[in-house]
Chain A
Amino acid sequence: MKSCSGRRMGAVMKKTDHRIFTGIIVFLSIAGMVFRWTGIRFEGVDYQNSLLTWYLQLKDGNGLTALADYKGDYNLPYATILYFLTLIPIEPIISIKMVSVLFEYLEAVLLMKMVMEAAEDGKKYLYGAVAYGLVLCNPLAVINSGYLAQSEGIWAYLALLSFWYIWKDKPVRGMWMLGFALATKLQAVFILPLILILYFYKKKFSILHLLWIPVAIQALCIPAIIGGCSFDIAYKLYAHMLGKYPFMYYYYPNIWTFFQEAPYYQFGKAAICFTFGVLLIFAVLFVKSGKKHTLQDHLEYIAWTTMTCAMLLPCMHERYNYIAEMVLPLCAIKKPKYRLPAIVLVLISLQCNGQSYLAWSRCSDLALAAGNILIYLLLTRDCFQGLYRYAEEREVEVC
């Protein structure tokens, strides 16, 4: 009798929790939209010089053939979205921003889902709501989509979704999503190291699944190909973009801020090789640790791998560490030691975005880079130390 009433109480509590949770989510969703709406009329440099120009060119063109004349440096799938937006009778500044906003909502839901799955039962709703709020109301996300009309939310969502599917052992969907993410922006490749490590570690899907990636990229290019673009248009644009900005440092304060004058043609490759080396050490530790990695661990690994790419690769824009800036605050929900680094990371990127696009007064790039490097080292130490300890203990056991 007692256990029955207890069960009923539990069910009532759960229902109440769920109602409160839904209420908070609705409130946060409205707040997120209000924040974004405050900047909806703001026209950033990129919007004026690039997005609007491309939009108008696509609008003036003759249907899909306008895509063949597209001269922008964003990938064709994004240009295709722009083309479809020209068909909607909404002002471009709103329609372009709303696409990014929509994907940010999807991203917030996805990350909330991940955090809820990683949390213990009792705190599931609390952590979920906090995660949703942290992503949706993250000032970087608000500025990125609501003010600057940038598309980081799109590729970040697709890249994270790809990881999520692979984590759930649904590799075909995962690869399609990764293909979509890469088709939208090449920066989505920052998630690839973790996916390859998972392939090696889990041994649950075949390397042949990777072939879905070009298929997905090609699928998104179909409208452009129908419009008259060549069959390999997606890859041509990648090749074009890779050599477009030959600078080691390109606005994101990372390790190369200290070596700005190093020539790209020589040290660009060196930077890529060092990044590969660091990721390789991580892969060795990951595989040899034999640890049963939890989803919470994976969130930290996502933050670390994407940040590794942003910190060590050359020519990084101030927006390219977007995934880490969204995910690290989520890691801090359960691990209080990440709270300060997460806040500082977001503030540093906010300053970078502010001084580049919103005419904020400039800070020393070297100071910002030093801050970022400190956070990166802290994150590296935490990720590596845990894995290293596990791997060494395992080795001793084997011996």
Chain B
Amino acid sequence: MLKIEKKVLEWAEKYMYQMAILLVCLIALYLRRGAIWWSSPDVGFYFDWHENHTQSSLYYVLVMLMQHLPMLPLHSMKWLYSLSDFAVIFFCAMVMNGGGKELSLRKTVFLIVLILSPVTYLRGAVWAQPDSVAFCMILAGYLMWNRGWKKWALIPAGLGAALYPCFLLLVLGYLWFHGDRGHGKTWICFVVLLTGVLAVQGLCSMVTGNPWQEGFRACFRWMAYEPYKGVLYKQDGLKWLIQMINVCGYGAAVTSLLLVYRKKISYAAALLIHLVVLLVYGSLLFPPAA
């Protein structure tokens, strides 16, 4: 082995964590660049508005705003979600920094898994769903909350929950399982957040030319309506379950990784969540040929 080669290898070993993360970031970006141009022929309801649509009103405002960019609307949305994936990674790294600023093996492995997670890739760049934007706002709120800026934390968390209302469950879950649940102030904050979310929804609904009540209803429709045609799930429990996994899958997958990092749940549980979510995404994006 050449001397210079040995030195290069030693240098690479020293900065192995940083280089590995940089490399997978580039790969993730490359993958997303390709996926921007692909749409599943069986999933064509990105911006569809119908009587019982399940997306929030803030989402439609976002779509309206993005249409002013000099790009195809779907592409601009996909780029937004892809960049938000990286924002989520950045915030997750900040959450992990609670265990020390240095890049440890544990942190590196988790970041690589997160960056190359097929769940985030499929949901944002491939499927053009806004989970990553909402999730990075929720994470920003979480970070602010933990630093003691509780009132300010409500703004990003509220916007995240308004954009993707099922993340309200995530906020509620955090407050419930976190040590602060005995404090009355915590619950007052939640009520304020909920009110803020509803207010934003009502306002956005009016901006899009609809009555303000429509915004309120859109906040909760995801729980019971099918997204393509807006049909109520009545007796088909399996379809409803699949849709719930679909809607909550991204949040569950990323949260499970953070929980494993914090040693709150096992690796097997996180892996199982990932596999289930992936199977659901796969069955919806690439349904078997008839």
* Interfacial residues, chain A to chain B (CB-CB below 8 A): 200, 203-208, 258-263, 266, 269-270, 273-274, 276-277, 280-281, 284-285, 287-288, 377, 381, 388, 391-392, 395
Residues on B with beta carbons closer than 8 Å to the beta carbon of A263: 38
Would you call the interface of chain A mostly helix, strand, loop, or mixed? helix
Give, as a whole number of angstroms, the nearest-CB distance from A207 to chain B.
6
Residues on A with beta carbons closer than 8 Å to the beta carbon of B6: 203
**CB-nearest residue of chain B to A278:** B116
Among the stretches B27-35, B68-76, B145-153, B213-221, the one at the interface with A is: B27-35
Whether A273 lies near B30 (C-beta < 8 A) is yes
Would you call the interface of chain B mostly helix, strand, loop, or mixed? helix
Question: What are 7 contact pairs spanning A and B, CB under 8 A?
Answer: A259-B282, A266-B35, A277-B115, A284-B16, A284-B20, A284-B108, A285-B105
Q: How far is the CA of A260 from the CA of B267 in the complex (A)?
A: 27
Give, as a whole number of angstroms, the nearest-CB distance from A205 to chain B.
6
Whether A277 lies near B1 (C-beta < 8 A) is no
Whether B13 lies near A287 (C-beta < 8 A) is yes
B87 within 8 A of A: no
B242 within 8 A of A: no
Instruction: Type the 1/0 row for B1-41, where 1 means its CB is closer than 8 Å to any CB of A.
Output: 11001100100110011001001100100110011001000
B234 within 8 A of A: no
Residues on A with beta carbons closer than 8 Å to the beta carbon of B27: 273, 276-277
Chain B interface residue number, banded: 35 or more
Contact of B105 among A261, A270, A388 (CB under 8 A): A388
Residues on A with beta carbons closer than 8 Å to the beta carbon of B113: 281
**CB-nearest residue of chain A to B100:** A399
Whether B2 lies near A206 (C-beta < 8 A) is yes
Residues on A with beta carbons closer than 8 Å to the beta carbon of B287: 261
B121 within 8 A of A: yes
Whether A262 lies near B30 (C-beta < 8 A) is no
Residues on B with beta carbons closer than 8 Å to the beta carbon of A395: 104-105
Whether A259 lies near B286 (C-beta < 8 A) is yes
Residues on B with beta carbons closer than 8 Å to the beta carbon of A258: 279, 282
| Contacts A205-B1, A261-B287, A262-B282 given; does A391 touch B116 at CB 8 Å | no
| Contacts A258-B282, A261-B288, A270-B31 given; does A288 touch B105 at CB 8 Å | yes
Give, as a whole number of angstroms, the nearest-CB distance from B273 to chain A.
14
Residues on A with beta carbons closer than 8 Å to the beta carbon of B23: 280
Q: How far is the CA of A27 from the CA of B250 in the complex (A)?
A: 57
Residues on A with beta carbons closer than 8 Å to the beta carbon of B35: 266, 270
**CB-nearest residue of chain A to B108:** A284
Q: How far is the CA of A206 from the CA of B8 in the complex (A)?
A: 12
B112 within 8 A of A: yes
B196 within 8 A of A: no
B183 within 8 A of A: no
Give, as a whole number of angstroms, the nearest-CB distance from A376 to chain B.
12
Q: How far is the CA of A281 from the CA of B115 in the complex (A)?
A: 12
Whether A261 lies near B286 (C-beta < 8 A) is yes
Contact of A204 among B1, B13, B104, B289 (CB under 8 A): B1
> Chain B CB within 10 Å — which of A207, A269, A270, A377 has the most?
A270
B185 within 8 A of A: no
Residues on A with beta carbons closer than 8 Å to the beta carbon of B118: 270, 274
Q: How far is the CA of A392 from the CA of B271 in the complex (A)?
A: 21
B109 within 8 A of A: yes
Interface residues of B in 104-124 (CB under 8 A from A): 104-106, 108-109, 112-113, 115-116, 118, 121
Q: What 3 A-B pairs come out closest when comparing CB atoms?
A: A277-B116, A261-B286, A259-B282
Contact of A284 among B30, B31, B109, B115 (CB under 8 A): B109
Residues on B with beta carbons closer than 8 Å to the beta carbon of A204: 1
Give, as a whole number of angstroms, the nearest-CB distance from B7 to chain A.
10
**CB-nearest residue of chain A to B28:** A273
Whether A274 lies near B116 (C-beta < 8 A) is yes
**CB-nearest residue of chain A to B106:** A392
Q: How far is the CA of A263 from the CA of B12 in the complex (A)?
A: 36
Whether A260 lies near B121 (C-beta < 8 A) is no
Residues on B with beta carbons closer than 8 Å to the beta carbon of A208: 2
| Contacts A261-B288, A266-B38 given; does A277 touch B24 at CB 8 Å | yes
| Contacts A203-B1, A281-B113 given; does A377 touch B288 at CB 8 Å | no
Q: How far is the CA of A392 from the CA of B109 in the complex (A)?
A: 12
Residues on B with beta carbons closer than 8 Å to the beta carbon of A281: 109, 112-113
